[in-house]
Amino acid sequence: MPLTPEQKAEIEAQRGESHLTMRAVSDGMEAHLYKAHEVLDHGFIRVVDYMGDDAAICQAARVSYGRGTKSVQNDAGLIRYLMRHWHSTPFEMCEIKLHVKLPVFVARQWIRHRTANVNEYSARYSILDREFYIPASDQLAAQSVVNNQGRGAALEGEEAARVLEILKTDSNRSYDNYEAMISDEGQQGLARELARMNLPTNIYTQWYWKVDLHNLFHFLRLRADAHAQYEIRVYADAICKVVADWVPAAYGAFEDYRLGGANLSGKAMECVRKMIRGEEVTQETSGMSKGEWREFEILIKE
Amino acid sequence: MPLTPEQKAEIEAQRGESHLTMRAVSDGMEAHLYKAHEVLDHGFIRVVDYMGDDAAICQAARVSYGRGTKSVQNDAGLIRYLMRHWHSTPFEMCEIKLHVKLPVFVARQWIRHRTANVNEYSARYSILDREFYIPASDQLAAQSVVNNQGRGAALEGEEAARVLEILKTDSNRSYDNYEAMISDEGQQGLARELARMNLPTNIYTQWYWKVDLHNLFHFLRLRADAHAQYEIRVYADAICKVVADWVPAAYGAFEDYRLGGANLSGKAMECVRKMIRGEEVTQETSGMSKGEWREFEILIKE
Amino acid sequence: MPLTPEQKAEIEAQRGESHLTMRAVSDGMEAHLYKAHEVLDHGFIRVVDYMGDDAAICQAARVSYGRGTKSVQNDAGLIRYLMRHWHSTPFEMCEIKLHVKLPVFVARQWIRHRTANVNEYSARYSILDREFYIPASDQLAAQSVVNNQGRGAALEGEEAARVLEILKTDSNRSYDNYEAMISDEGQQGLARELARMNLPTNIYTQWYWKVDLHNLFHFLRLRADAHAQYEIRVYADAICKVVADWVPAAYGAFEDYRLGGANLSGKAMECVRKMIRGEEVTQETSGMSKGEWREFEILIKE
Amino acid sequence: MPLTPEQKAEIEAQRGESHLTMRAVSDGMEAHLYKAHEVLDHGFIRVVDYMGDDAAICQAARVSYGRGTKSVQNDAGLIRYLMRHWHSTPFEMCEIKLHVKLPVFVARQWIRHRTANVNEYSARYSILDREFYIPASDQLAAQSVVNNQGRGAALEGEEAARVLEILKTDSNRSYDNYEAMISDEGQQGLARELARMNLPTNIYTQWYWKVDLHNLFHFLRLRADAHAQYEIRVYADAICKVVADWVPAAYGAFEDYRLGGANLSGKAMECVRKMIRGEEVTQETSGMSKGEWREFEILIKE
């Protein structure tokens, strides 16, 4: 259970308070504010604050005195133009702050995106909760045999059961021992900053994460991608839904140009031109490697 | 005159609209929103948006579910602690977006602070206005004779008059010629992206500038400093006033630890300890160079 | 003339000194070290230092103990894979330091790329030289009538002559007045930090610019692009040549995937698939705007 | 044992190869190149590459054509000046690339410094080694009773023995189970990207880490500090030794102004001035909180 009654009450208290502001307000986003969107077995994302909306992107692009809006349609067109031509700075004018609860091994991937602000719960200072990520049975995937960095089909039967048993038992034993080491009953108690090293990386941590929209799109393009590890992809997917409500025009352009788009090499473009003219192209004549050709074929037949 | 009636109307329209939000609201900052605070002869700063307040700093530092506030006094104490011990990430959780109008030579100094987001008015795309910074007479300073990078006393009489005359005449002539080159009356008109190169750097430009509070403090520490060039310092001073109303506790800590504080070297600390014990210290016995000793003496006698 | 005999001697002195190092050495790059490659009428780029080579990219990607090289062919394949799948961090493991001399209006575009280190010649501290960029006659382009941000054909005849005359005269007059204001003969002399504001942005400045290969590629993709302003594009082109000799495999991948490649939206990919299958697609049925369709048609017919 | 014979051979092979270069060479640093400096029980730091030296800092600060060196003494003076006045960009002109082997919980602290380039060994792709950090007995510290974030005295006797036993047993059991889960003998084998979550954070990982000297100093100031956790401080200490040999003048200035220096608030400076004049100051009259006064008293009596 990700939230205690106390935490829920704190969240509800915030959702109950409204104030007047002269700033840009995104109604779509207000509906998400503070709500915990559940991810995995104990995780969540919560929008804690945001700055700007679609109009703010245009306002900055035009360096205008007022809201910068000409019309909703005009704005959407400008936003598509900016996205298509890699004008990144107007998208940097929107900002989002999230409270995220996530397993440590996911946090380790996430933090590789450096252009963001982070405050993480400190296990030097505080005691971690007994909450571990245990995969659902359909996510207990086997190692892929074609891709060193991928998953195959889900394990089944006894094999799956054995893995689940290991993960649960080891998580709990390591936590029991963590507690035993830091306990000050009848002993001094090991320093928290040391005891934590005994905990496996499926334990949950949490942080405040603040990022601008341009860098968030970059994160989402990589992490909402089919090649991303499932456990981070579900966070990216949850964030995508929130962003679609926050800045619908910007998200629409992102979806078309980045998520749904493709980056073709000069060689690939040459093949496309030939194929459109009706000429035959093979891997051999394409100049591409076998792996590249395989990826290319999927792209043009999808 | 920095603002046309049209621009004023756009600003007033924004100030007239209030919306309900569940986000953190800083009443001190709402009073500044959109207002143009005049700087130099044609420049200004305007707060276009902000995220967070003093409580948001504590909320992130505590990674809490609610507002994170225990009490205003508690929060101020935590904020002082964070500032004193160089915990920078909680301050990064606040963000400000400014619209700034400033001379190009000031913009060139400003932009050296890289950890910010910028959208500048494009002189490739648009035509610049005939607005130039002409120093007030008390700022027409002579070159310092002791510091290559500083100013001496203000010029006076004929010498001052001659300088003002040059600046005004050259600004206007260069602008006349800029207009003549881009004009398409009876000719093709030079590309704007080329014509602009004829304009001197006292011409005004404008941009949207967005930065988090930690990096803003870094900017302000360097640019509100007595050694900063006057023409950028007045912008920093104007921003300081706004920040003091936005996040009073954080600004108070910044003022005490950064603006009003001092960074002493190990050698200087050794001297301080000796002097407190009543021992005599001279430049020769201090281990400092003459320049350093001079700076040190000022610090401890101020 | 970009270099004085003194400066040439300093450069030659550095080129004359060789030392033994155990670090990775790129022979292609050593040949460029310190040489001033001329750009525009008074500008240049000079490689002052570099770190890494193609093998260093693979070494980091493999987190290996030795050089990381398996074979040159293997390395090139890995580098293409990394580039294709947007693995940016291995490219960040190479670094280049350039000394660049460039007009101020070019410097203002350049500095918008924030992920780099810069030390610029200080006009607060020092006196600038009388060197201005005056476009060659084939670059005296008219304002484009179809693109607010572009150039049309070059001006000719009297019109061109008039523009050149203006640029030369205004540059020289502003410099004469700059000198007159800072002169301390028979007067105090205006502070340098003030006097510089009289100079137009076609004056040359110079800086040390250090950047990693990933961010350099990002810069080059935008600035070596046909839509970039000519005056910055020639710098990007000069850098491209140097990089091609420094890290030939990485540059080859960059050329194919970024410079020569194309980013197609989801809608555009859908059109491509239809066209390859022999179906007819028009702007109306494509779902693209007119502007977007125009760009798309150029891409697939190039 | 941190290095296999194979890895040692790879390192030796690199140390055996020298090439001529025209770049700046730091002899002090060449002596460190590739050598593994051992840290903790299985970790190390190795310098893989570097760019620049003390003279390169001055060269960039002066934007000079040659080496920028006037004399070693002049350079040291300039470097002290730059450090004292927070001129950070010249220090950014030096760069270092390290290969580091470190426990995951240390890596998690380290990565919070975002202004650096990182390539980490991928546990999605590869299998981790059975190497865990087990504290030496003098580092088995109890939780501090005065500081939530600190350590007290080392545990002793049975209590220490029990903790060591737990850490060793849990590490090994989790690794046994990690192996059992990924094994493909008689089963499919769980995906590596999943199985790794069972491993505790005292397991060792490794990465290539590249950073400029300014940001490295920032890292070292925080992590070589007495308040940093011991397990990261020993890495910072090892890096300090290398940097002292690489750029002796810059390191000397850093040691005096940052490591050995102190940042005093405005209130603290006011107290210092009074105390030097022989006036009495108490916590009550200082305006400082009790905690702050305690820190202040230590500073001035050290």
| C-alpha B78: how far from chain center | 26
Residue A139: the pLDDT is 94
- Complex-level ipTM: 0.94
The CA-CA-CA angle for residues B280, B285, B286, to 5°, reads 90
Residue B71: the pLDDT is 77
Q: What is the DSSP letter of C287?
A: T
pLDDT in tens, chain C (302 residues): 467 888 889 888 888 889 999 999 999 999 999 999 999 999 999 999 999 999 999 999 999 888 766 677 789 999 999 999 999 999 999 999 999 999 999 999 999 999 999 999 999 989 999 999 999 999 999 998 888 778 999 999 999 999 999 999 999 999 999 999 999 999 999 999 999 999 999 999 999 999 999 999 999 999 999 999 999 999 999 999 999 999 999 999 999 999 999 999 999 999 999 999 999 999 999 999 998 999 999 999 87
Q: Which two tokens stand for residue D258?
A: 């940052």
Q: Which two tokens stand for residue B190?
A: 């030079």
CA distances from C284 to A276, B1, B272, C287 (A): 19, 48, 79, 6
Q: Which two tokens stand for residue C6?
A: 């003194």
Tell me which amino acid residue D32 is.
H
pLDDT at residue B244 greater than cutoff 80 = yes
Picking from D62, D75, D84, D277 by the largest number of B CB atoms within 10 A of its own CB, the best residue to mutate is D84
pLDDT at residue B69 greater than cutoff 70 = no
How confident is residue A68, by pLDDT bands cut at 50, 70 and 90? low
Residue D56: the pLDDT is 95
Q: Cβ distance A261 to A217 under 8 Å?
A: no
pLDDT at residue B1 greater than cutoff 60 = no
* CA D53 – CA D277 distance, rounded (Å): 43
* Interchain proximity B51–A49, CB inside 8 Å: yes
The domain ranges of chain D are 5-133+204-259, 135-201, 266-301
pLDDT at residue D1 greater than cutoff 60 = no
* Interchain proximity A115–D111, CB inside 8 Å: no
Q: For the domain A5-133+202-259, what is the CATH code?
A: 3.30.1360.170
Residue C73: the pLDDT is 78
* CA D246 – CA D52 distance, rounded (Å): 9
Q: Which of A112, A263, A299 lies closest to C263 in CB terms?
A: A263
**Model confidence over B81-90: pLDDT tens digits?**
999 999 999 9
First to last CA, chain B: 40
Which residues of chain B lie closer than 8 angstroms to C187, CB-CB?
159
Q: Which of C20, C23, C97 lies closest to D93 in CB terms?
A: C97
- Helical spans, DSSP H, in chain D: 5-16, 27-30, 54-62, 72-84, 104-110, 157-182, 192-195, 213-223, 230-246, 248-254, 266-276, 283-286, 290-301
Picking from C169, C201, C203, C223 by the largest number of B CB atoms within 10 A of its own CB, the best residue to mutate is C201
The domain defined by C5-133+203-259 folds into Gyrase A; domain 2 (3.30.1360)
* For residues B41-56, average pLDDT: 97
User: How many percent of chain A have pLDDT more than 90?
Assistant: 85
Chains with at least 3 CB pairs less than 8 angstroms from chain C: A, B, D
Determine whether A278 is exposed, middle or buried from the number of CB atoms within 10 Å of its CB (0-12, 13-18, 19+): exposed
Between chain B and chain D, the number of residue pairs with CB atoms below 8 A apart is 88
CA distances from A198 to A175, D44, D62 (A): 8, 21, 51
Find the helix or strand (DSSP H, E) in which C151 lies: strand C151-154
Lookup result for tokens 């000519």? C230
A184 DSSP β-pair partners: none
* Interchain proximity C149–B118, CB inside 8 Å: no
Active site residues of C: 223
* For residues D247-274, average pLDDT: 96
Exposure string for B6-23, b = 16+ CB within 10 A, e = fewer? eeeebbeebeeeeeebbb
* CA D64 – CA C121 distance, rounded (Å): 9
Picking from C220, C265, C290 by the largest number of A CB atoms within 10 A of its own CB, the best residue to mutate is C265
Tell me which amino acid residue A147 is.
N
Residue A145: the pLDDT is 83
Dihedral, CA of residue B134, residue B135, residue B140 and residue B145, to nearest 10: -100
Tell me the longest C-alpha to C-alpha distance in chain B: 82
pLDDT at residue B302 greater than cutoff 80 = no
Which residues of chain D lie closer than 8 angstroms to C14, CB-CB?
22, 66-67
Q: Using only the alpha carbons of chain D, give its radius of gyration.
A: 24
Query: D284: distance to nearest CA of chain B, Å?
Result: 16
* CA B32 – CA D147 distance, rounded (Å): 41
Q: Which two tokens stand for residue B241?
A: 């006033």
How confident is residue D69, by pLDDT bands cut at 50, 70 and 90? low
Residue D2: the pLDDT is 61
Residue C199: the pLDDT is 98
Nearest to B97 by CA among A64, A30, A53, A60: A60
* For residues B132-142, average pLDDT: 95
pLDDT at residue B286 greater than cutoff 60 = yes
Q: What is the DSSP letter of D145?
A: S
CB count, 10 Å around CB of D148? 12
Share the mean pLDDT of chain B: 94
How confident is residue A95, by pLDDT bands cut at 50, 70 and 90? very high
Q: Which two tokens stand for residue A18?
A: 């409204």
DSSP string for chain A: ----HHHHHHHHHHHH--EEESS---HHHHTTBT-EEEETTTEEEEEEEEE--HHHHHHHHHT-SS---S-HHHHHHHHHHHHHTT--GGGGG-EEEEEEEEEHHHHHHHTT--SSEEEEPPTTTSPPPS-B----GGG-EEEPSS-TT-EEEEP-HHHHHHHHHHHHHHHHHHHHHHHHHH--SSS--B-HHHHGGGSBTTBEEEEEEEEEHHHHHHHHHHHSSTTS-HHHHHHHHHHHHHHHHHSHHHHHHHIIIIIS-EEE-HHHHHHHHHHHTT----HHHHT--HHHHHHHHHHHH-
* CA D271 – CA D197 distance, rounded (Å): 53
B34-41's contacts with Cβ under 8 Å and 24+ in sequence apart are B34/A22, B35/B11, B36/B2, B36/B3, B36/B11, B37/B238, B37/B241, B37/B242, B38/B2, B39/B102, B39/B234, B39/B235, B39/B238, B40/B102, B40/B103, B40/B133, B40/B231, B40/B234, B41/B133, B41/B134, B41/B136
The CA-CA-CA angle for residues D67, D73, D74, to 5°, reads 60
Nearest to C104 by CA among B111, B103, B197: B197
A117 DSSP β-pair partners: A210
DSSP string for B83-112: HHTT--GGGGG-EEEEEEEEEHHHHHHHTT
Q: Cβ distance B170 to C174 under 8 Å?
A: yes
* CA D302 – CA D297 distance, rounded (Å): 8
Query: B177: distance to nearest CA of chain D, Å?
Result: 33
CB count, 10 Å around CB of A284? 9
Residue C172: the pLDDT is 98
Q: For the domain D5-133+204-259, what is the CATH code?
A: 3.30.1360.170
Residue C14: the pLDDT is 87
Residue A143: the pLDDT is 92
Residue B65: the pLDDT is 83
| C-alpha B187: how far from chain center | 42
How confident is residue A130, by pLDDT bands cut at 50, 70 and 90? very high
Tell me the longest C-alpha to C-alpha distance in chain A: 83
Residue A2: the pLDDT is 61
CA distances from C228 to A47, C225, D281 (A): 38, 5, 64
* CA C63 – CA A109 distance, rounded (Å): 17
Which residues have C-beta within 8 Å of that of residue D147, sequence separation ≥ 6?
none
Q: What is the DSSP letter of C18?
A: -
Query: A131: distance to nearest CA of chain D, Å?
Result: 13
Is the CB of A302 inside 8 Å of chain C's CB atoms?
Answer: yes
* CA A199 – CA A193 distance, rounded (Å): 11
Share the mean pLDDT of chain A: 94
Q: Cβ distance C56 to D49 under 8 Å?
A: yes
pLDDT at residue D192 greater than cutoff 70 = yes
* Interchain proximity D275–B276, CB inside 8 Å: yes
Lookup result for tokens 């506790």? B249
The CA-CA-CA angle for residues C248, C252, C253, to 5°, reads 125
* Interchain proximity C21–D30, CB inside 8 Å: yes
Q: Which two tokens stand for residue A6?
A: 């106390």
Nearest to B276 by CA among A27, A198, D269: D269
* CA D272 – CA B260 distance, rounded (Å): 13
CB count, 10 Å around CB of A81? 15
Query: What pTM was estimated for this model as a whole?
Result: 0.96
pLDDT at residue D222 greater than cutoff 90 = yes
